[in-house]
Every structure is written in structure tokens, then in C-alpha cells.
Amino acid sequence: MPTIVFEASALGPAVSAEAGAGRLIDVCDDARAPIVFSCRDARCATCRVEVVEGEQLLDPPARGELDLLERLGAPPRHRLACQAVLRAGPGLVRLRGVTGPEG
């Protein structure tokens, strides 16, 4: 079971949570992570995060997520929290919220 760490931001303090396989958005909701959500379906990129550590514990991005990240010119370590899916297994995923359109 991975440990997910959300770094502190202007939205709130650092938060960590244990999570099984599943959608990152559900972990964010349950842990009250300092990540903003709006559309929740890969259209707005409000929930963009930088994967600081543990990228191997996330499934590769699906086409819709990739399309939006490419349009934004986002670096490879950026993901949409509403679309990212955690894999089962031990490890650590460290995330940092990305604010603003420039990321």
C-alpha cells in the first residue's frame, strides 16, 4: 500500500495518506489534500500536480490526460490528480500542487 504525501501549499498544510490501488482524486478527497479540483474530468487542469517522487506507482496517463497536458506544454512529471491512478504495492508518492496556467 503506497503512502501518498501532498506537500504544503497556499491551500493548506502537508498531508499524507495510505492508499490502495485506485484513483488519486479519491485519495485527495479522503485526505483533504491541498489540491484544487474543478471539472474532475481532464478538461481544466486545475488539479495539476508535479510528481516529485514515486512516478512508478502511478499508471501511465490515459489519452485524455496526455492530450490536455501536451496542450499545456506540461513537463513529463506533471499529472492531473483527477485522472491519475495509483498502483497497488509498497512505496512513496510525493506530490506538489501546480498553480497557475504556466505550471
Which tens digit of pLDDT belongs to each residue from 37-56?
Answer: 988 888 899 999 999 999 99
Instruction: Write down the pLDDT at residue 100.
Output: 58
Q: How far is CA 83 from the centre of its chain?
A: 8
Judge whether 94 and 58 are in contact, CB under 8 Å: no
Which tens digit of pLDDT belongs to each residue from 3-23?
Answer: 999 999 999 999 999 999 999
Q: Which one, of 13, 30, 32, 8, lies nearest residue 97 by Cα?
A: 8
pLDDT at 84 over 90: yes
Instruction: Write down the pLDDT at residue 21.
Output: 93
**What number is the average pLDDT over the span 75-97?**
96
Q: Is the pTM of this model over 0.85?
A: yes
Instruction: Write down the pLDDT at residue 102.
Output: 47
